[in-house]
Structure 1
Amino acid sequence: MTDSSPVQVPGTVLTMRRIGAYQTMTLVAPGVAERFRPGQFVALAVGGEQSSMLLRRCFAVREVKPDYGGTVEIVFSVRGKGTQWLAGLRPRDIVDVAGPLGRPFPLPRYPVTCVLLGVAHASAALFPLAAVLRQRDCPLHFLLGGAGTEEVHGARGARRAGDSVAVATEDGSLGSAGRVEDLLASAIEGAQAEVVYACAPLETLRSVSRTCAGYGIPAQVAVEEPMACGTGVCMACVLPVIGDDGATHMVRTCVEGPVFRGERVRWDDVGTIPFDALGAPRALRLGERP
């Protein structure tokens, strides 16, 4: 059995490409590719050895291959100094890589009909999952979305990997006009789906989870929550999640996630510590000592 513990290695940039609105980087990262399971992520150091940018940047994995010593492909958009530095790297440059990190997608034991829903570059995480589900003879139906045509990631790959593909853009420039989660109910009914896998921003995942609950099918959601360390130390990415014991726990997205069962996340309480969560601060009554 392959060791699944994460490693920290110097990754060598193999290729850097611009596809639509996003950068695609392929790294040679020995040890990471063979340990990776769909849904996990990697954390990259940015800025170089003398940089004041201390925090890593975390990215979903688009593809792993054993070629060239083990390659890992990530997709990202340039949003700040860290990702701008990464976008400026060239082949043979070195970047420190830690991974694979996080909890992967649970996989079915027998063939089930799956809907795979992704928004923008978060869709990248669906493709290694699709490859494994295909090996298990699962029918696959993709739903991809983005603000516009340039922001939809992976439509061509989805057509190769899936039994069907539907696209929605907010500006109506590609596929249906609107949000991709608006297509979910009809996709579930049309495909007679038995499970939904989703990679998207929190608001989309909230909608996906509620739709799946209405149909009585599980939603496995990979949460896009900002992560400052990626290893569970800083506690910056906590979410209120109902555990197997029925109690609400404040869990770390980077360690206990990023994959969760959609119905277990308390979406309406994200960004807060619910009063009934384990360890939550308790309001003192008048005259009561702390």
Structure 2
Amino acid sequence: YRATDKGLLGGSIELVVAPHGSGSKWLANLSVGDFVDLIGPLGTAFGIPTTPANTMLIGGGYGSAPLFALAETLKNRGCRVDMVLGASTANKIYAPLEGKRSVSSLTLTTDDGSAGIHGQITESIPRLIREFNTEVIYSCGPMKMLESINRIASDFDIVHQCSVEESMACGIGVCMTCVVPVRIDNEVKMLRTCIDGPVMDGAQIIWNAENEGGNI
């Protein structure tokens, strides 16, 4: 979620954990002062524009967590930062107040209309791209959402960096359970989310891999 160089022990790492499985429930039940072994940092981070740009950060549910630190970095580089957060219902939108403090504009959407714009998050993206003259999109959330955003980014010819959501077992690139098919220079490759990702170029991902049959 976020790392800082300040803290009682010289620095801190903040993690957002949704207690669904046995591992995440174990983490959520830890007490202050408990020790945890970590291996990191792993994988790739979002790329930052070399010159100021109009950026849009799109987060679905808890997928918004890594976008706040990114927003601060982009803002410090002189970029315009517009954030769009969406979820099925209001209480599943993560930290909307923090998002509002970090960005030039914040748009909320919910499937049930309980907060912000009523509808799926992707329905508002084309209008916002036109309104803010977006040049780069960063996204994190469910794969179906990322796929829809990538289609929109392609229609507008906008760079789309997405943090893909795949189950990871080992985290160090050995087990190959988190692979994502991509096409680079007209060649299909299988990238490991934990090592080669999680941030990938949305234009390179083969989103409809299940329909490509023997081509992969």
| Cα distance in 2, alignment partners of residues 144 and 82 from structure 1 | 26
- Give deviations 1:52-109, integer Å, cap 9, x for gaps: xxxxxxxxxx221111222000112111111111111110011111111101111100
Give the paired residue count. Answer: 214
Matched, 1:113 2:54: yes
Gap regions ≥5 residues in structure 1: 1-61, 278-290
Matches for 1:134-283 after TM superposition, within 5 Å:
134-243=75-184, 245-269=185-209, 274-277=213-216
Q: Which amino acid aligns with 2:31?
A: R
Alpha-carbon RMSD across the aligned residues, in angstroms, is 1.3
Aligned to 1:73: 14
Q: Which amino acid aligns with 1:253?
A: T
Larger Rg: 1
| 1:250–1:273 Cα contact (<8 Å) kept | no
Q: Which amino acid aligns with 1:248?
A: V
Percent identity of equivalent pairs: 36
| Cα distance in 1, alignment partners of residues 95 and 58 from structure 2 | 11
Structure 1 residue 154: Cα displacement: 2.3
Q: Which amino acid aligns with 1:75?
A: V
Match of 2:63 among 98, 119, 122: 122
| 1:118–1:198 Cα contact (<8 Å) kept | yes
**The structure with more strand, counted as a fraction of residues:** 1
Gap regions ≥5 residues in structure 2: none
| Cα distance in 2, alignment partners of residues 233 and 150 from structure 1 | 37
| Cα distance in 2, alignment partners of residues 92 and 126 from structure 1 | 27
TM-score, normalisation: structure 2? 0.95
Structure 1 residue 274: Cα displacement: 4.8
| Cα distance in 2, alignment partners of residues 200 and 228 from structure 1 | 19
TM-score, normalisation: structure 1? 0.72
Taking a change above 3 Å as real, the CA distance of residues 96 and 166 of structure 1, as seen in their structure-2 partners, is same
Aligned to 1:281: none
Structure 1 residue 276: Cα displacement: 2.9
| Cα distance in 2, alignment partners of residues 203 and 96 from structure 1 | 32
